[in-house]
Structure 1
């Protein structure tokens, strides 16, 4: 995430900040730049490292602190971001503002039922980020009710689609699901056949049948559907993964 330099005519106006907000980002230089901009105006802020801030928040909350955390991101739709924000929210006694230059992914709507999380999509210069931190720490709401409701609705629709996909994948037989899982791992049809002790023709027959059940036009589309089901936080626990292939059978003869 790039950040622009400061313009003295556009400097942030000091506001009354209660609990010093935490500022975190996968890009430490970004959070440090925002912290420096606010510090120059006499606004207290605490910069934490991305790798450790959830643990540090857990310690602070266990000691009775109430936290205001501003998370600055390039993009929202990643496994690491999902895990950290969900873990942070589960601690309680925390307000979270997520600021990104990218569009919010639908899954964020699932965290907006209460008022502990706000998601803001905006340009991200240092000064703009500093203002967001100030507003958030002073108790101002960054999301209006209409935007919050819109994201909640998008999440509900995405969840309905995912549930339908989960139910569809459940119609596969254990062998069909196993074939699809192996293909999803990047193996070719011949390699899957060797691992399962069947012919390539049998594997192709399984693929044709499972594509029909899933409504997938291609093998790649079927693989993509399985990966969607197994995404973290989106129904992975609803469809059991096929049993692991024994390590000894994982050896596929090298091509000559």
Structure 2
């Protein structure tokens, strides 16, 4: 019921269909009227495996993770390259690539990136262990997520080369998994082709955040910490007060991202973009 003296809230009936199958091809998407499917299990990451959803009646599939062979899109960076005639299955890349790519695009478009290294200080995720346990990939990956800072591999920086071809082979990176439930931060250290003061870089990012990348790239000069970005819908929020420059050609840039909520917003945006290309 509602509060005293107030009418009860209206009842809402939600019908949820359960399909007792682990095979995407057996899910009757067509019967349910679901034309667009988000493949977020983390299991069906290739075009071939994710295409099984199409057999059930889906029209398009968006993989919410990097894919070894699906076309990869980062909103604000390369979504214009989407071709509905040839791309029934696409990837929304990773949350870290969605943070790094918009920032790298602005810097590269304005000053040129010769080469760069990225470090993401990343919140723990569901693939990690709550306490020390076995790991099939690397010993360190099996250590307790809540008790350690864990160096880890990531392909997020290299993936930028897939969405910004001019940067292919110029960026690589690594991750530190830390005992934080949500919000991560990227450190991009790069060498510039065109000399620029740190103030010049800040101005370029600020213009992009207020203009063509509004809603994708944010900008702040506040003395912020990670929890300030919980629930932030941007892909990347440039921290102007945290970056430093060694010279006009060598800089360290910092950008925050809610690796859960911000990324989920981009998945929805990519779906909306795909739909807009079919009207």
TM-score, length-scaled by structure 2: 0.24
Kindly name which structure, 1 or 2, has the bigger radius of gyration based on alpha carbons: 1
| Structure with the higher fraction of residues in helix conformation | 1
| Structure with the higher fraction of residues in strand conformation | 2
TM-score, length-scaled by structure 1: 0.26
